A and B are shown apart, each in its own frame.
Chain A
Amino acid sequence: MAEFSYYSGIPTFYMMIGIAMVAILIFLLGMYLNMQKWGGGSASHFLKTFIKSINHEKLGHHKRQSLLSTIILDILLQRRILRRSPFRWVMHMMIFVGWIGMFILSMVFAVFEMLHAINIGHFDLVVIRNSLDFSNEVLGYMLLIGLIIAIARRLVIPDVVKRTQIFDWVLVLGTLFITVTGFMAEGFRPDAITGAWTFLGDNVALAETFALFHVAISLLFCIAYIPYSKYMHMLAAPMVILVNGGGE
């Protein structure tokens, strides 16, 4: 039994690091190209202008709000979506919180794994993983429900159907695919509490391959692909809100 080489589900920790590096490089390249595009050929010109414009003074009688309110109310709580449609706000919050939450938890666990791999600190990775399990489960279901609502909207509401393009489908369906493979990878792992293998009996090799597949496509789709897709809004929308000051 390979239970102790099997923490996050990745057979070779270094393989994960490798894929993560590739994903981050592709992401950075895309971000660089985007900033270059925005900055008229110069990414640094973009960055300078962007930083200077944050919460720039509004002209006219428009009320100003503090940067903190913009960050909390408009970016984190997304009241601009809520104000237009509570239904879509619930949908998006499920996706947003689920996605960001799992992203953060994965990062936290990756740090522990890295520390473990280079023999710093004394902790039991299984215990850590198990302690994150419940949160991961809740966030995973939030993301799943949010995506199902998003897909249903795009299939059912006539106005939304009419204006849906491939660009929109790629994002929702891609994210759904990753969420589903995540649940399956989870299902293939030994049960957090009892330690019993679920789904696949103890076909460790298959479980490991599947987990690797899930992590690889997550990294590629959810990180590397951001600057090249509609995912870009998750960075650009908050950046625009910072510049324009959000509000109401």
Chain B
Amino acid sequence: MADEEKPRPVIPKGEPFIKTDVISPTFMMQYDACTRCGECDKWCPVLDAKDGDRKYSPMDKISRFRSFMGQSYGLKAKLFGPKKLDEDDIQDFTDAFFHCSTCGVCASVCPAGINTVDMYEATRQQLVMRGNGPYGKTVMFPKLIGEYRNPYMKDQKQRLDWIPDDVEIAEEADVAYFAGCTAGFNQQVLGVATARVLNHLNVPFIYLGEEETCCSSALIRTGQPHKGDIPYINAKHNVEALEARGVKKVMFACAGCYRVATIDWPKLLGRKPNFEVVHVADLLADLIQQGKIEWKKSFDNKIITYHDPCHLGRHCGVYETPRIVLDNLPGLKFVEMDRIKELQRCCGAGGGVKAGIADVALDIASERIRDAQAVNADILSSCCPFCRRNIGDGRDNVYDQIGATDYDLRDNPENKMQVEDMIVLVAELMGLSTKIKSQEEADKAAGVEPEAPKHLIDL
């Protein structure tokens, strides 16, 4: 799907066709450091999903931008003026450039140590400012997040709606839970599970509620941080609100928000917040290692594997604690898939790909399901709502394909691989309910008794 016709920028005579004012000098230098070794191409999930079409090769995209830069700022450009670039070529390049989930595996494998993700994001911003980007529906993000303070078009007042009656939120505590928009509005099971687990473990926490605003990850990843300066405004607002509550730690269960808090908040604000940023997996792993967690339920000898969210793993370096947690869950054998940790295969959702280029996101997620099938996993777990959603879609896609011929599976859909977030599994195994508030209320109205998940056995 190409974008609708974009307005063409008017370039004054003698001016370069592409400016570089938002690409920092060290990122500009990185374009010239590429050795064209092709290592990134071997790992890029998007290039894979596009069947090796060179237009989507990270190596060739880098060369293409370098060549634009050479034509605009090189020796010839200095002597005879910048070359007139073909607008269609720039647009074609931009569209290819937004076909990238900012997963960062190319940075992990790059022998020249290029920090591709930050370089791409800055370049995307430049292309957006030029009028060529972003791609597809991601163009809506600034309006949604700017206007509603969340991408789901919900009223800020509804931020408290997910909290079930049994969940206790403290007025004052050392820990804050930053739920984020997805757990708060869209996949409430994650918020509910996290809150109940924290309550169960006697970790009192505060929650900003109506005061919490979107982390704005979607804007930063898609090169739109300048539109209304929303990421900066939201970062300042969230950090100052959390600091005003005097918390020592801010807990995240969403990889996207955690990445923003760890890396983007300090960059946007030019300082580190006065609190520690932790992922809920860090806390759980710590308590498990101290022997402080008691499980009430168990799986019945299932195989589980873990998908590292790019934003938690490669971007922030959190690889071990989710593994410690999953490895200790009762009744589960933990196995590793192909392509893990810094070499993980992205699920394909990030960087605006899920919102902008859904078919590519689905293809990549399906590959990840095949990785999990290859190690006979019954459960594929992760620590990120976007991974959960997209890999879940990938699972349905793969099973739709095999379901047509596999009658056993068609008749027994419960044999499908389960795609579930770590925190939900933890809550279930602690014997806690993972029913969201609206579901509980509906059950109550219908007179349905709550029951434990059928796939678990008592310990």
14 new A-B pairs (CB below 8 Å) besides A29-B75, A237-B33?
A30-B75, A37-B28, A49-B26, A60-B263, A62-B317, A80-B110, A167-B63, A233-B32, A233-B33, A233-B35, A237-B112, A240-B33, A241-B112, A244-B115
Q: Are B20 and A40 in contact (CB under 8 A)?
A: yes
> Which chain A residues lie closer than 8 Å to B113 at the CB level?
74, 80, 237, 240-241, 244-247
> Which chain B residues lie closer than 8 Å to A160 at the CB level?
38
Q: Are A163 and B315 in contact (CB under 8 A)?
A: no
> Which chain A residues lie closer than 8 Å to B25 at the CB level?
38-40, 45-46, 49-50
5 closest residue pairs by CB, A with B: A61-B317, A236-B33, A60-B316, A37-B73, A237-B112
Q: Are B38 and A34 in contact (CB under 8 A)?
A: no
Q: Which of B28, B34, B74, B115 contacts A33 (CB 8 A)?
A: B74
Q: Answer yes or no: A63 CB below 8 A from chain B CBs.
A: yes
Q: Are B78 and A33 in contact (CB under 8 A)?
A: yes
Q: Answer yes or no: A239 CB below 8 A from chain B CBs.
A: yes
| B57, B59, B78, most chain A CB atoms within 10 A | B78
Interface size class of A (residues with CB under 8 A): 35 or more
Q: Answer yes or no: B243 CB below 8 A from chain A CBs.
A: no
Q: How distant is the Cα of A29 from the Cα of B20 in the complex, in angstroms?
A: 21
**Min C-beta distance of A39 to chain B, whole Å:** 5
Q: Are B32 and A236 in contact (CB under 8 A)?
A: yes
Q: How distant is the Cα of A219 from the Cα of B315 in the complex, in angstroms?
A: 42
Q: Are B78 and A239 in contact (CB under 8 A)?
A: no
Q: Are B29 and A165 in contact (CB under 8 A)?
A: no
Given A53-B26, A61-B316, A80-B113, are A40 and B35 neighbors across the interface (CB < 8 Å)?
no
> Which chain A residues lie closer than 8 Å to B114 at the CB level?
240, 244
Given A50-B25, A233-B112, are A165 and B36 neighbors across the interface (CB < 8 Å)?
yes
**Min C-beta distance of A23 to chain B, whole Å:** 15
Q: Are A38 and B342 in contact (CB under 8 A)?
A: no
Q: Answer yes or no: A129 CB below 8 A from chain B CBs.
A: no
Minimum CB distance partner of B42 in chain A: A159
Query: 1/0 per position for A20-57, CB-CB distance to B under 8 A?
Result: 00000000011001101111100001100110010000
The B19-49 residues at the A interface (CB cut-off 8 A) are 20-21, 23-26, 28-30, 32-39, 41-42
Q: How distant is the Cα of A216 from the Cα of B114 in the complex, in angstroms?
A: 34
Q: How distant is the Cα of A37 from the Cα of B20 in the complex, in angstroms?
A: 9
Interface size class of B (residues with CB under 8 A): 35 or more
Q: Answer yes or no: A87 CB below 8 A from chain B CBs.
A: no
> Which chain A residues lie closer than 8 Å to B347 at the CB level?
none
Q: Answer yes or no: B69 CB below 8 A from chain A CBs.
A: yes
Q: Are A37 and B74 in contact (CB under 8 A)?
A: yes
Q: Answer yes or no: B400 CB below 8 A from chain A CBs.
A: no
Given A50-B26, A60-B317, A163-B59, are A34 and B32 neighbors across the interface (CB < 8 Å)?
yes
**Min C-beta distance of B171 to chain A, whole Å:** 31
**Min C-beta distance of B200 to chain A, whole Å:** 26
Q: How distant is the Cα of A240 from the Cα of B31 in the complex, in angstroms?
A: 10
Q: Answer yes or no: A243 CB below 8 A from chain B CBs.
A: yes
> Which chain B residues lie closer than 8 Å to A159 at the CB level?
38, 42
> Which chain B residues lie closer than 8 Å to A162 at the CB level?
54
Q: Which of B20, B29, B262 contacts A240 (CB 8 A)?
A: B29
The A194-248 residues at the B interface (CB cut-off 8 A) are 228, 230, 232-233, 236-237, 239-241, 243-248
Q: Are B37 and A88 in contact (CB under 8 A)?
A: yes
> Which chain B residues lie closer than 8 Å to A241 at the CB level?
112-113
> Which chain A residues lie closer than 8 Å to B75 at the CB level?
29-30, 33, 228
Q: Answer yes or no: B172 CB below 8 A from chain A CBs.
A: no
Q: Are A243 and B36 in contact (CB under 8 A)?
A: no
**Min C-beta distance of B160 to chain A, whole Å:** 31
> Which chain A residues lie closer than 8 Å to B63 at the CB level?
165, 167
Minimum CB distance partner of A242 in chain B: B113
Q: How distant is the Cα of A233 from the Cα of B30 in the complex, in angstroms?
A: 9
Minimum CB distance partner of B30 in chain A: A240
Q: Are A168 and B36 in contact (CB under 8 A)?
A: yes
Given A60-B262, A163-B59, are A46 and B29 neighbors across the interface (CB < 8 Å)?
yes
Q: Which of A40, A45, A74, A232 contacts B32 (CB 8 A)?
A: A232
> Which chain B residues lie closer than 8 Å to A232 at the CB level?
32-33
Q: How distant is the Cα of A60 from the Cα of B263 in the complex, in angstroms?
A: 7
Given A33-B75, A53-B26, are A78 and B262 neighbors across the interface (CB < 8 Å)?
no
Q: Answer yes or no: A104 CB below 8 A from chain B CBs.
A: no
